[in-house]
Structure 1
Amino acid sequence: MSKTLSNKDNLQVLYEDNHIIIVNKRAGDIVQGDKTGDKPLSDVIKDYLKDKYNKPGNVYLGVVHRLDRPTTGIVLFSKTSKALPRLNKLFAEKKASKTYWALVKNVPSNTEGTLVHWLKKNPKNNKSTAYIKETEGSKKAILHYKVIRALDNYILLEISLETGRHHQIRSQLASIGCPIKGDLKYGFDRSNKDGSISLHARKLEFNHPVSNESISVMAPLPKDPVWDACL
């Protein structure tokens, strides 16, 4: 996994005000603590805020949404207990627009389209399987995609989600023969050197939970020759 995990001194802050903070997650960062015991991004941000504002005692931080550990890009956190429930409601009501970029192995049969599957998570191998029809224990998953660019060996897709299921983009793209670069779990043939997968949360748009002003944030791409070729 990436050796450049976030710490309070290298944190890539994309936006910050009194109520929210948005960061560009590195591959390998976990958003919240898990069984690995590795320091989560939420704690890194608490360290950053404590240091920046010279705060005594505990720092409040609310986790609004998550990204898979090997992915990169935008993650939004709440700095106040006032903003958190409003952000949760905003995301639950699908009033936040999230755009992802993915580098995939093959060209989809259509240059743009909508994928509808029923995803079933297997906790034993932490993997979701995409089915065409509803099966017991499955959840409906919908995403929209379009081809942005054809590179020498990869295709750049732009993706927007209607639903937020476990490994949704990874599973749905793999099911149409377009596994994401580096994603061994979902059928790509080799890993990326840093252990990442080439899935990036590129853009987030929403209305501020307190001021209601329109917020639009874009996350720079990871430093990588293939990603560089996308610009």
Structure 2
Amino acid sequence: MSDETIYLKVETAEPPRLDRWLTAHVKNLSRNRIQKLIDWEYVHLNGTVCTHKKAGVQVGDTIAVTIPANKPLEITAEDIPLDILYEDKHMVIVNKPAGLVVHPAPGNMNGTLVNALLAHCGDQLTGIGGVERPGIVHRLDKDTTGAIVVAKTDLAHQDLQAQMKAKTARREYLGVVYGAPSVEAGTIDAPTGRHPNDRKRQAIIPPLKGGRYAVTHWQVEERLGNFTLMRFRLETGRTHQIRVHCAHIGHPIVSDPTYGTGRSVGVNLPGQALHAERLTLRHPATGKTVTAIAPLPEHFVKLLRVLRNRTS
């Protein structure tokens, strides 16, 4: 099979937004699918690649939508060491290291947590939660370390996702931020969404412009001069949520390459100093509470040691 390209001419600019216009005028393609095609640079507006789903359309515009041919997605099992915090026949909780991407994506099909899990669990993950993300219930950014749960059965997957959605699963993170908050605890309630000018970043976006409800609770764990060790509890789980929220309140995560200040702290870190330390959930089969605590990685321990020595 080969790619298929659909050519359209805008005769009525209703709805006036690209993704919504295409949803209304192209049969058999959902809005979600169209948004992905836009993200993946398969949509041309007036002869130019358009990666902005909110781009305006006008009468007379020409649009070309390329629908890539269905290709069998082959994810290979890879013998990548895993730090297992908890495991039974229903689920496994892994302490993810920095640098490990959670699931394969175009251009990055190998060396991910999913590749490692396929080797660890064998055929047990097949078909659970989709081909690209078998068993994945939630995600962590590439350089964020810590606890992540993976389902081994369809029922466990559905139950764990429902807990995430209902906010009954508790996710707590530790992070080192620049600066010293003036109070000991607080809540950041600010909607987030795709940055209007940089598709690889998130930003604080008003709901009327597509921002999604996002809430992060935080408290000070330890004051370290011009730095602070903070504990975060997620009420929602938006992309880059803690990182965006911390930057929003003027205390970005140390060594965050996307939202940070670029200031050196004298410690070689693989990325943002953010760690998913504790994951508490209800076991999908027994109903009992399961709490997994992920030890801090060595680079995080070293950072704290250096900062404590500076303030002693």
TM-score, scaled to structure 1 = 0.86
Kept after mapping to 1: 8 A contact 2:221/2:230: yes
Matched residue, 1:22? 93
Aligned partner of residue 185 in structure 1, secondary structure: coil
Q: Residue in 2 aligned with 1:147?
A: 220
Aligned residue in 1 for 2:139:
66
**Contact 1:183–1:190 under 8 Å retained in 2:** no
Please show how residues 134-213 of structure 1 align to structure 2 within 5 Å. Answer: 134-190=207-263, 193-213=268-288
* 1:109 Cα deviation after fit: 2.7
Q: Structure 2 stretches of 5 or more lacking a match?
A: 1-77, 126-133
2:202 is aligned with 1:125: no
Shift of 1:194: 4.5
Residue in 1 that maps onto 2:30:
none
Say whether 1:86 aligns with 2:150.
no
- Does 1 or 2 have the higher relative contact order (CA < 8 Å, sep 6+)? 1
Separation (CA, whole Å) in 1 of partners of 2:154 and 2:207: 38
Partner Cα distance (2:271, 2:234) in 1: 21
- Residue-by-residue CA offset, 1:97-128 (whole Å, 9 max, x unaligned): 11011100111232211111121213843211
Aligned residues: CA RMSD: 2.2
Aligned partners of 2:217 and 2:223: how far apart in 1? Answer: 18
How far residue 135 of structure 1 moved from its aligned partner, in angstroms, is 4.1
1:220 corresponding residue in structure 2: 295
Give 3-state SS (helix, strand or coil) of 2:258's partner: helix
1:99-110 equivalent positions in 2, closer than 5 A = 99-110=172-183
Say if 2:124 and 2:153, in contact at 8 Å, map to a contact too. Answer: no
Deviation of 1:90 after TM superposition, in Å, equals 1.4
The alpha-carbon distance between structure 1 residues 8 and 220, as it changes in their structure 2 partners (threshold 3 A), is farther
**Which residue identity lines up with residue 114 of structure 2 in the other structure?**
S
Q: 1:156 to 1:34 in 2, by over 3 A?
A: same
Within 2, Cα distance between the matches of 1:8 and 1:217?
Answer: 23
Distance (Å, rounded) in 2 between the aligned partners of 1:35 and 1:117: 31
Residue 36 in structure 1 maps to residue 107 in structure 2: yes
The answer to whether the 8 A contact 2:254-2:260 is kept is no
How far did residue 190 of structure 1 move? 4.2
Supply the distance in 1 between the matched residues of 2:257 and 2:269 (Cα, whole angstroms). 13
1:155 is paired with a residue of what secondary structure? Answer: strand
SS of residue matched to 1:74:
strand
Kindly provide the amino acid, as one letter, of the partner of residue 206 in structure 1.
L
Q: Residue 253 of structure 2 contacts residue 272 of structure 2 at CA under 8 Å; is this kept in 1?
A: yes
Contact 1:103/1:198 (8 A) holds in 2: yes
Residue in structure 1 matched with residue 83 of structure 2 by the alignment = 12
1:213–1:158 CA distance, 2 compared to 1 (3 A): same
Which has the higher mean CA deviation after the structures are superposed, 174-183 or 150-159? 150-159
Shift in Å, 1:217: 0.8
How much identity, in percent, do the aligned residues show?
A: 33
- Partner secondary structure for residue 254 of structure 2: coil
Amino acid at match of 1:29: L
Residue 91 (structure 1) shift: 1.2
- Cα deviation for residue 163 of structure 1 reads 1.2
Contact 2:255–2:269 under 8 Å retained in 1: no
